[in-house]
Every structure is written in C-alpha cells, then in structure tokens.
Amino acid sequence: MKFDIVELSPVQRKIQVELPAEAVASEFSRAYQELGRRVRIKGFRAGKAPRGVLQGIYGDELRGQVRSQLVEDSLGEVIRERGLQIVSRPEIEAHDLIEGNPFSFSAIFEVKPAIEVGNYLGVEVEKLKLSVTDDQVDASLRRLQESHARLEPVENRTLVQRGDFVTLDFEGFIAGKPFQAGKGENYLLEVGGGQTLPQFEEAVIGLTQGEPKKVQVTYPEKYPNRELAGQTVDFSVVVREIKQKILPELDDDFAKDYGECASLAELRANLRARLENELKHIQEEELKEQIIDRLVEACSFTPPQAMVERQTRYLMERYHNRALGQTASASETAPTLEETKKTLEGRATRQVKATLLVEKIAQLEKIEVADQEVQQRVENLARAAGDKAKTVRDAYSRAEARDELRAQMVFDRTVSFLLERAQTKEVDSPGAMVDEQGKKG
C-alpha cells in the first residue's frame, strides 16, 4: 500500500491511498467466499454455488461492499500508523474499482490541532469578596416557607383576584376552529404567576366562579408554538374553583416540622451555612472560568469546524429543551432562532478551544482517571437517578459513553489542578465598592 498525507490546514488533512492489484483481488476473493457461505442459490448445495453465478446475481452489490472494506481497512491502518486524531467523518473520493487492477482513493477529514501551550501554571485570577447577607438568609427562609404553603378554597368571594389559584376549564378556537392542545379541564393557574400569556391571566381577573366567559388573546410573533405564533385565539373559560395560598407561620414549630431543627434560630443558621457552601462553590466555578478564559486568550489556534458544529448542535438542543419549559411571557422577549444560533456558535467555539487546551495540559501533566473511578462515578449517577438507575447504567455500558464521561472527569480534574496552582487575588465586589464610596461621601 502506498499513501501520502497532505496538510490542507492546521486542522485538515488529505490522505491519498493506492492499493496494489493483489490486495484488491484478495479482498474480492474473501468477499465471494463469505457470500457463498451465507447465501442459498437454487440448484446448488450450500456453499457450492460457482463464483460466476454469485457474480451475476450479486456483483454490483458486492463490488460496493469490497470498495467500502478496502477504504475502511486501509484508511484505519494509516490513521493508526500516523497517530492521527480524527474528529470528523472522512469525505471519500474513490476511483472505479476493477478486479485485477490497483485501486486508489482519497480521504479528507479534520484532526485535532497541534497546540503549543504557554505558561499555564500560576494563572492570575480575581476572587470577589462576597459574603452571605441577612437578606439572602431571609429570602431562603421565605422560599422554604413558600414550598410548604397550602391552597385553601376562598370563602365569601366569587370574583377572581390577582394572586389567586384558580381551577378552570378552557377551550380555544382560531377562526372558529379548535386547535391541538387548545382544550383543558381542571387546569390550575396562579393568576399573575406568569405561567401563561399575560393577556390571558389579566382576562381571568374579575371572572365570576361558575360563569362561562369569552376571552380573546393574541399570541406574540415569536411564540415557540408556531401554530399559535401571531394568532388571535378566542377562549371559552369557566372558573370552577378559587383558592388562595396559606403560608405556615415562621416559628420554632415550623423549624421542627420542615427544617429538622430545634428552633427557628437554628434553622436560619443552617440556611446560612448552606448558602455559604453554595457561594464557595459558585466562586470556585467562577475562578475556573477565569482560568479557562486566560488560557484561551493566550493560545491562538483554529478549532476543528466539525467539533464546533457538534457542540453548537448540542447547545441548540439544550436551548430548545429549555424554551419548551419557559413561561409564555418569557417567550415574548426571546431572541430569534438565527440570533440564538449565532450566539451559541461563539460559545461552542470557546468551549471546544477550552476542551482542546485542557486536554493538552492533562497530557503534559499526565493527569488521568482510572477505570474504577469512572465506574464509581457511574454508580453515583445511577443512585442519584433513583428509579431510572438502570437506564443510567445501561447508557454508560457503552464504551463511547464511558469515554465521554472519562474525558469530562479528566477535564474537571485538570481545571482543579490549575486552580490549586493559580495566583488568586481577592478584590472588593462592585456593590461593596459603591457602599464604601457612599459612606465616604
């Protein structure tokens, strides 16, 4: 086999391969032997059909299989021999395959770039001086209180007010015709909570319990559901029940019942400690992002487009999944698909560059993750998944999934390694600086 590798760009290679006639003939012979054992031809015993008969029936199909096998085997051999790290599907251009003649083809693909990393130890980062405030503890306590609120029917009132929780039946029509998912029964709505269009929630205010009412709503042009985007919908609405939220008293009994603490003061102390741990984690993640930003800024290289496209698709999929769960009011101000894709492409480029840089540093520092560590992480994920533990284990039974998990663990370990060796400088937060200036003034 003869081959030549041409560097088209720092991340693109072209391999030209020529296989001798003997290799082509050998693959044809192997393919026909395997075909003969596998197929049954009328008038011939199993495995005894002459090659000429097989060729007349399966010739074109088998030629394609031989071409694919020759390309796969020889290209794989070249890639392994030269240690190429391919990150895209090869674009194959093959000449005609004729038995008894040499066969040649070319393959163009992207590879990971050669990266020269500068001084990555002792990166300078800034850590904001932050602390948990009493207001934040109060807010956390209110969230806990809200989570244990109960809904009770409203007495001596039949008109809906803002802040009520109403159970209603509705059916929507576009130009007099019903539409998919436009009907609901016993739908629980927090009036003013932002879970539906503001127009609809405003229209519910003032409705009388038990009395049918017509409500007209115009959906925004950017509404995620294209069937409704820009449409005027007529709803028939009936409020079945009106409820109000009742919050439990914040006292020692609340702390015992819902906070597993002996007193409200102890509960507040526990909440403060939890917030401090969360703040510490957030600060560490911010410092890691700073390190990655410094590395990306200091090292100039072009990432493979295939990797950027894959990461962009992943980010777009996550964006769409989040958009499905957005409230109607949030969807009104959402950017267009084109704007979102452009933003995510930039983010994907930065993430790919960071991945390649950290991977290179991990190689230089010989940072690895053992098989048993990967298995332990899988078990932790499975336990956290609860009833879906088997699904998680099945997913990570695939070698590809475990390799991706290992790569993420190596990435995390390497960034932590860099953070431990970074030069961290504490600086006042913008808010603290303003407060200080205000005191001096």
pLDDT digits (tens, 9 = 90+) for 105-136: 999 999 999 999 989 999 999 999 999 999 99
Q: Read off the tokens for 347.
A: 């983010």
pLDDT at 400: 93
Give the separation between CA 196 and CA 191, rounded to whole angstroms: 9
Give the separation between CA 280 and CA 132, rounded to whole angstroms: 10
Query: Under a CB-based contact definition with an 8 Å cutoff, are residues 398 and 440 in contact?
Result: no
Q: What is the mean pLDDT of each run of 10 residues along the chain (441 residues)?
A: 94 96 92 79 74 80 91 95 94 91 96 92 93 95 95 93 95 92 92 89 94 92 84 95 95 93 96 96 95 93 94 91 63 70 92 96 96 96 94 95 96 97 89 42 38
Q: According to the CATH classification, is domain 2-110 in 3.30.70.1050? A: yes
Q: Is-same-fold flag (2-110; 150-246)? A: no
Q: Which of 320, 314, 325 is nearest to 347 (CA)?
A: 314
Query: Under a CB-based contact definition with an 8 Å cutoff, are residues 393 and 340 in contact?
Result: no
| Predicted TM-score (pTM) above 0.85 | no
Query: Under a CB-based contact definition with an 8 Å cutoff, are residues 107 and 84 in contact?
Result: no
Strand partners, 108: 14, 91
pLDDT at 325: 59
Give the separation between CA 103 and CA 92, rounded to whole angstroms: 13
Give the separation between CA 362 and CA 430, rounded to whole angstroms: 35
CATH code that applies to domain 150-246: 3.10.50.40
pLDDT at 327: 52
pLDDT at 36: 75
Query: Under a CB-based contact definition with an 8 Å cutoff, are residues 15 and 75 in contact?
Result: yes
Q: How far, in Å, are 26, 81, 278 from residue 137 at the CA level?
A: 76, 61, 12
Residue positions counted in the chain = 441
pLDDT at 180: 86
325-344 confidence digits (pLDDT tens): 555 555 555 677 788 888 99
What are the residue boundaries of the structural domains of the chain, listed by start? 2-110, 150-246
Q: Which of 372, 356, 365, 441 is nearest to 407 (CA)?
A: 356
Query: CA angle, corner 254, sides to 250 and 260, nearest 5?
Result: 135
pLDDT at 139: 96
Q: What does R_g of the chain's alpha carbons equal in angstroms?
A: 32
pLDDT at 409: 97
**Phi and psi for 208 in degrees, rounded to 5?**
-100, 130
pLDDT at 326: 59
